[in-house]
Structure 1
């Protein structure tokens, strides 16, 4: 059984105004209409984690990928149709999984409070629980999102790529109202999970004209990556864990990054800017500071404006 959360950071957050539409989110949005919603979500997430250790990383990534395309509107949950290829089938989302967790939550909540709790809110709350139940911080999730009806695979190209440099990362986050501070804090989510070779092969094969391997990689770490991801790799699910404590939400990601063991080019990019490098060092030295910053940035990210207008009864399909 996974250890109980070691640190709880409670952030009181009354409401957030959306950037494109004035829609207030509230931490007590369901207190009267569905008071047991959060407890139900936590219970389902906890049970899923006991059966599958990859669930926390999957739920956190799902929330991030939802919010960075069309805002936090649950569009990442929609299935493709005969006439439309949805976000979940776009190239960056092929490896997204644990959608069944959202399905189980939705069914249970619909039994409790029909037509009240949006799929987008369920994703946000499940991501928070995934972090907290993995030993990370918790926070008061602002709620009241509505579900969108549009989901297009072509729009997943808006997601930040693991090959991005600092300029590309800064622009991508700024377009969503997120700062360099948010970039560094949210990158700490890489403390959970696993990456396939395709996301970091650019660093270990034909890096540039002078180097086959990215010289910023620590030598033994680079060798280990080459071992699991050789050139012309044919092992379908080959890859590497995101950090040394892949099921524990902690600050190991920053410690490894400082020692040349960051997995992605986008991770290494955080060391190329003076401000972001200082923050990486700060979070490597203080897990409490990282937890505080992560919780704050998650609230900010989860409030990115969406264009949802309804509460879907089935998270995979529009009415």
Structure 2
């Protein structure tokens, strides 16, 4: 009886361990230097393409970075956000929340893909998903942020639908609980969420995303969001008058909008977070200590951001041929 119990327990432990192996995230199959024997110069090829694009327009930086985030949070980092709609399918990029994605972000990946495929050894060997991950790293480092080794080995997704985007991306009105929950759904911690939010140290936002903070806040005529710096609010009202053209945009970081740095957190301390989902990080006592730490320590922030974007790059990746492939054209499913 005792021997039988021991055997059963051993089998149970073995089964649990086996199940643990089976449910390990596919990110374990990503690795640095994945293309060393396939396309050894791929990272320099992509970086050169990104550099050339950046010389054309600085929108390349926030456009590419935001594209990476929007891709990873919808069915994983699989370049499905780049796929174009067809007569029979409305793709992710045409969901209303993605319509503001800058065309220069898409163009960065498409041009980098063309540069990679121009090398015969590399043609159709490097996924669009990996090119986007490398390009995201490159725009960060080229704009003053940290450089880091990118884990590679992703396959491109086999589908892209507008419906799959609904409810998957954070909104500019989210509070800390909502932000924490939507990131946690992707295996991203609250600390990583706060680090990734600093991507708003570059880029811009359209006036309609924050107009509720500078006009008639809370339904009270003439009221301004009390968590918004009054001088900053006045500046925003000048930039975004009532009934302004919805295509008008202002920098997310009014101090150093083209530099990837920790200024984002310094802005939050001054109540100069443009979106309420930014400013809430400094207003909520649970996240405020992290804001203060990274505002005072750029080295600590850079380290935290590298860890966070590495974790982001692992979300829902496809590494099994049954789940994905390498697209010949990033905008068209094979």
Could you tell me the TM-score, scaled by structure 2's length?
0.87
Asked whether the 8 Å contact 1:18–1:303 carries over to 2, the reply is no
Q: For 2:216 and 2:160, locate their aligned partners in 1 and report how far apart those are by CA, in whole Å.
A: 35
Aligned to 2:136, which of 127, 140, 143?
A: 127
Task: Give the CA deviation at 1:23.
Answer: 5.5
Shift of 1:226: 1.4
User: Equivalent residue for 1:47?
Assistant: 52
Give the match for residue 12 of structure 2. Answer: none
Q: Which residue does 1:174 correspond to in 2?
A: 184
* Equivalent residue, structure 2, for 1:261: 272
2:231 & 2:133 partners in 1: Cα distance? 38
How many Å separate the matches in 2 of 1:176 and 1:22? Answer: 13
Judged with a 3 Å threshold, the aligned counterparts in structure 2 of structure 1 residues 132 and 207 are, in CA distance, closer, same or farther, namely same
1:315 aligns with 2:315: no
User: What is the Cα deviation at residue 239 of structure 1?
Assistant: 2.4
Seen in structure 2, the aligned counterparts of structure 1 residues 272 and 95 have a Cα distance that, compared at 3 Å, is same
One of 211, 218, 233 as aligned partner of 1:201 = 211
Query: Distance between the aligned counterparts of 2:27 and 2:54, measured in 1?
Result: 36
Alignment partner of 1:101 is 2:116: no
1:85, CA displacement in angstroms? Answer: 1.0
SS of 2:217 mapped into structure 1: coil
1:240 paired to 2:247: no
In our comparison, the structure showing a higher alpha carbon Rg is 2
What's the secondary structure of 1:257's corresponding residue? helix
The residue that corresponds to 2:288 in the other structure is 277
Q: CA–CA distance in 2 between the matches of 1:128 and 1:225?
A: 31
Q: Distance in 2 between matches of 1:292 and 1:136?
A: 11
Q: After TM superposition, give the deviation of residue 269 of structure 1 in Å.
A: 1.5
2:241 to 210, 230, 247: 230
The offset of 1:100, in angstroms, is 1.6
**Structure with a larger share of its residues in helix:** 2
Q: Distance in 2 between the 1:274 and 1:129 partners?
A: 34
- 2:148 is aligned to 139
The separation in 2 between residues aligned to 1:89 and 1:127, in whole angstroms, is 21
Change beyond 3 A, Cα 1:46–1:305: same
Q: Does 1:74 align with 2:76?
A: no
Residue 18 (structure 1) shift: 8.4
Q: 1:129, CA displacement in angstroms? A: 0.1
Alignment: residue pair count: 302
The residue aligned with 2:171 is 161
The match for 1:33 is 38
| CA distance in 2: counterparts of 1:226 and 1:20, whole angstroms | 46
Inter-partner Cα distance in structure 2 for 1:199 and 1:209: 16
What SS is found at the alignment partner of 2:30?
Answer: strand
Look up the SS of the partner of 1:26 in the other structure: coil
Task: Evaluate the alpha carbon distance shift between residue 22 and residue 268 of structure 1 in structure 2; reply closer, same or farther with a 3 A threshold.
Answer: closer
Gaps of 5+ in 1: 1-16
